[in-house]
Structure 1
Amino acid sequence: MPFLSQISLSQIQDDNYLKNIPSLSSGIQLQLKNSVTFFVGENGSGKSTSLEGIASHCGFSLRGGNRNHNLSGKRIYESILAEYLRLSWSPRRITNGFFMRAESFFNFASYVDDLASADPAILKAYGGRSLHKQSHGESFLSLFNNHFDAGIYILDEPEAALSPARILAFMAVINQLEQSGRAQFIIATHSPMLICYPGATIYEFSSEGVEETTYQKTEHYNLTKSFLDNPSLYLRHLLSS
């Protein structure tokens, strides 16, 4: 069963940028029935904003990391959404885990190297060598395989550096931790492969709000499948002069 079981957001009344995000402005009520939940939707639909709010409630650095990581020595910015969110935990609030942003992973890897310069043993938690000395995909999987154990893992587009084969390897990591009963995943993604993970709950963020769906009904899945079934049809229209 998931540690975080419900995410609630009342209608935004204050005058801030959240009112301009259609999926969030009217409020949300999400039930996290499983230990793996995906947020899908177009860029700017509110997925990452929602992850930031959840991560802030957990006490994670919004630059990426866990409660013990402080990439800059101070918090650069706050999640405005966090003050509006209400999270329900069972049996208690979890603060172990990790918030991963693909866009800021380079900074996180540099932060780990800085720590390792004083204590090389720190690298044992990341596969035994600098994340910068691994390929982008290898460094992502090193983090997943060596640092993820127990807690809540909030991941923003983890597929960004992963080949299709490594996405499958990542799904195996998710499964191992999920089956242990020690971990919960909330993942924002554009990957039509990742959202096929068995038994996961999928919420789609759109101009109509946030609705539960299945992977077969997502635009990510249908557009990718349609393109791969007949790429010449799409390319003929896209590349015609």
Structure 2
Amino acid sequence: MIHLHNLVVGYQGYGLAEPINGGFKRGSLTAIMGENGAGKSTLLKTICGIQPAVSGSVSINKAVSLSWLPQQADIDRSFPINVFDVVAMGCWPRKSMMDSLRDADIAKIYAALDEVGIRDLVNFSVNQLSGGQFQRMLFARLLVQDADVMMMDEPFTGIDSQTQDVLIKLMCKLHQSGKTVIAVLHNPEMVADFFPDTLAINNACIHWGETHDVMANCKLFHRQDRMAVRFG
């Protein structure tokens, strides 16, 4: 579905890690892990076409649609827009920005808000939301967009445990429905519990495969205190 060919990601011609070779299969659920600065977020941006590759290439099957959930820190929360309008942005890939929303679109927006549990916040401005409420809103937008591939950059960082549980269950539901989900994470226990596949990126090595094999063979997980490793 998505294939990486000797892909080196980075900025201004400087690579952040070794070349990556491999592919994300249709319907897979993959965690991307690595230490700070290893190029995890940059990899997602490169796959999306937001960031150019330093070298190598990304090939994506025709007719495959992509969606991207950025880190909350990358989003300007001061922009005057409400929850409904943010979630409605998920409709844009299927229509012109000048098109009006149809009844079916509006129904889909409210169904997504119900799914993540924030229908009562539909008219709230985004700057009124807590971190957990904001992330639920972004997940609702993903549901409305309904892309084949859903890429998420640290989707569980900085949110309350209740929201984390809701969103993990939703992510697993999406995977079970056949969606391809790729997420940058920093919690090894969460990866071991929920993600069948892992791509571990380190400056010196790349490990990609079934999660239990990657954790057994990648030095990234062999620290004396695994939880002390600073992932980001």
2:79 maps to 110
Equivalent in 44, 67, 73 of residue 97 of structure 1: 67
Matched, 1:51 2:54: no
1:39 maps to 32
Deviations 1:187-233 (A, max 9, x none): 11112343134452101111223212636545399745579xxxxxx
In structure 2, the CA distance between the partners of 1:220 and 1:144, relative to structure 1 (3 Å rule), is farther
CA distance in 2, matches of 1:196, 1:18: 34
In structure 2, the CA distance between the partners of 1:30 and 1:163, relative to structure 1 (3 Å rule), is farther
Structure 2: where are the runs of 5+ without partners? Answer: 87-99, 114-118
Alignment of 1:195-210 (within 5 A): 195-210=191-206
Aligned pair count reads: 193
2:123 maps to 129
TM-score, L = length of structure 2:
0.65
Deviations 1:95-121 (A, max 9, x none): 3423422321344x736449949x997
Structure 1: where are the runs of 5+ without partners? Answer: 57-61, 63-78, 228-241
TM-score, L = length of structure 1:
0.63
Say which structure, 1 or 2, has more relative contact order (CA 8 Å, 6+ apart).
2
Q: CA deviation at 1:39?
A: 0.9
Matched, 1:86 2:58: yes
Whether the 8 Å contact between 1:157 and 1:187 is mirrored in structure 2 is yes
CA distance in 2, matches of 1:173, 1:163: 15
Q: Pairwise CA RMSD of aligned residues?
A: 3.8
In structure 2, the CA distance between the partners of 1:146 and 1:46, relative to structure 1 (3 Å rule), is closer
Q: Secondary structure at the match of 1:178?
A: helix
In structure 2, the CA distance between the partners of 1:172 and 1:221, relative to structure 1 (3 Å rule), is farther
